[in-house]
Amino acid sequence: MIQVYSTTPLIHRSLEEYELESLQPNKEYEVNLLFIPFDSNQTTILKSQNPIFVKTSALEDEYNFDIAIESGKISESTVELDVEGVPHPEDKYVNIYEVIYSTDSQKEQKSSFKVPKRDTGKKVTLTDLLPGTK
């Protein structure tokens, strides 16, 4: 298998550092250095004998979190739900919650609500529920 290398622009000999950019996350790279002669009479290109191998870190998905709901107070026709697992500040990650519920005898019903204001409880109360709502 033939490897295809990407190259940087020409780097001046006085530079002691160079940052590789636009690398893909969670990939392994072979990095080597070539010395290209300035004199047109010299045709030898020198290559470092020991390339280095680097692996970029994986891309972190800040939206990869688990949301859980727990029931709070329950009565005949209402239930209070507590939302857990959304990082702070909540409004950075979630704009609207949608609660889906149904009864044994009816098709799916939906109720949605917006994110509570910062530093308030993350609760919603479903009202006007029929007995047997799940």
| 95 belongs to a structural domain | yes
For the whole model, what pTM was predicted? 0.48
Strand 68-74: give its sheet, edge to edge: 68-74, 79-84, 123-126
pLDDT tens digits, one per residue of 70-104: 888 888 888 888 888 888 888 788 877 777 777 76
The total of structural domains in the chain comes to 1
| 10 belongs to a structural domain | no
Residue 23 pLDDT: 92
List CB contacts of 42: < 8 A, sequence separation 6 or more.
none
pLDDT of 133 higher than 60: no
Burial class from Cβ neighbours inside 10 Å (0-12, 13-18, 19+) for residue 101 reads middle
| 47 belongs to a structural domain | no
pLDDT tens digits, one per residue of 3-50: 788 888 888 889 899 999 999 999 999 999 888 777 778 778 788 889
| 134 belongs to a structural domain | no
Residue 116 pLDDT: 61
> Tokens 């020198």 correspond to what residue?
46
| 98 belongs to a structural domain | yes
Domain with 87 in it: 68-126
* 3-class SS of residue 62: coil
Across 121-129, average pLDDT: 75
pLDDT of 121 higher than 70: no
